[in-house]
Amino acid sequence: MLKSPFLRSIYQYMLARHYSRRTIKAYLYWIKGYIVFNSKRHPAEFGESEVEAFLTYLSVKRHVAPGTQSVALNSLVFLYKNIINRPLGDVSQFRRAKREPKLPVVLTTDEVTRLLSQLKGTHWLITALMYGSGLRRVELARLRVKDIDLDHLQIRVWNGKGGKHRVVTLAEELIEPLKFQITHVERLMKEDSLLPDYCGVYMPNALAAKYPSAPFQLGWQYLFPSGRRSFEPGTNTIRRHHIDESGISKFIRSARYKAGISKEISSHTLRHCFATHLLQSGVDIRTVQEQLGHTDVTTTEIYSCPQTRSTGSAKPFKSIVSCGTHNSSA
């Protein structure tokens, strides 16, 4: 619970305007940091020069990444425009964080096979989807049943990075496991609906008011729901949210150790593997760009450089996701 009335008012302002929980949390973190940096004075007392000093401090003293510095700047632009009602002027005179060149860690096809072989049930399906469709962790966690098109082997991704929508391919080997998962989701939905205080799944953009029955329809349920019901943050509303994103990283890291893979990997590594292995199999880079949702093809080109080329068996791309086991246990 926020102790500061000022920060609490910002939280309520953003909540009422349907900002994502992730954005609210990030903005409040940097606004609070900015206020503390300026000796806890009210931000209405200062402006552009203090903002530049704070951003320079983040770069020089905190050594934050360029993306982190950009989020901090966006937070303060939001603060002055929407809360202080005094939009910032020119704030370009600050030390920008340096972007160190990074190359993605890529597993060989055999390493992906070994990783999947250490997983089963829902954990296996989640990992296979991230590798087989190039999904980001948050995109996978937010999938709804209606986003899965088994007839056309497609997944619709809504509000990905930058608020963009896209359609990605779905490996044919995942049809039956996905049907099993949807049956599991339907069973949970029916059990939850019997509870008098249950309010259905969370609906974006106030759609619950427009379609009051939608929170109780199968299509709107999260494809990978949480194992328990909980109160919606800031309310007394009981819902079943989607799985915790941090849990995905944990079981993938555990599978990596069990598989004897020495490379440092995360859930995002599977997205790197998806792109690299597609290019290795001869898929056009523009197609890979569309699958990943990259605005600029130069972002995708990093997967075609020599340093990211992996070696291993020439196993067909889609068949890799058939390795491992899918059953009712996670």
Which of 142, 256, 271, 277 is the catalytic position?
A: 271
CA–CA distance, 275 with 131 (Å, rounded to integer)? 9
74 closest CA partner among 111, 108, 26: 26
Tokens of 130: 């991230």
Contact 150, 178 (CB under 8 A): yes
Which of 120, 161, 229, 318 is the catalytic position?
A: 161
The 3 state secondary structure assigned to 142-189 is: CCEHHHEECCCCEEEECCCHHHCCEEEECCHHHHHHHHHHHHHHHHHH
Q: What is the DSSP secondary-structure string of 201-235?
A: S--GGGHHHHSTTGGGSGGGSBSSB-SS-EEPTTS
The answer to whether 211 is a known catalytic residue is no
The answer to whether 326 is a known catalytic residue is no
The answer to whether 136 is a known catalytic residue is yes
Which of 123, 136, 240, 277 is the catalytic position?
A: 136
CA–CA distance, 176 with 150 (Å, rounded to integer)? 9
The answer to whether 146 is a known catalytic residue is no
Which of 184, 229, 268, 315 is the catalytic position?
A: 268
The answer to whether 272 is a known catalytic residue is no
Which of 11, 198, 222, 303 is the catalytic position?
A: 303
CA–CA distance, 82 with 11 (Å, rounded to integer)? 12
DSSP at 17: T
Which of 137, 256, 294, 326 is the catalytic position?
A: 294
The answer to whether 17 is a known catalytic residue is no
Beta strands in the chain (DSSP E): 148-149, 154-157, 166-169, 230-231, 238-239
What amino acid positions are annotated as catalytic residues? 136, 161, 268, 271, 294, 303
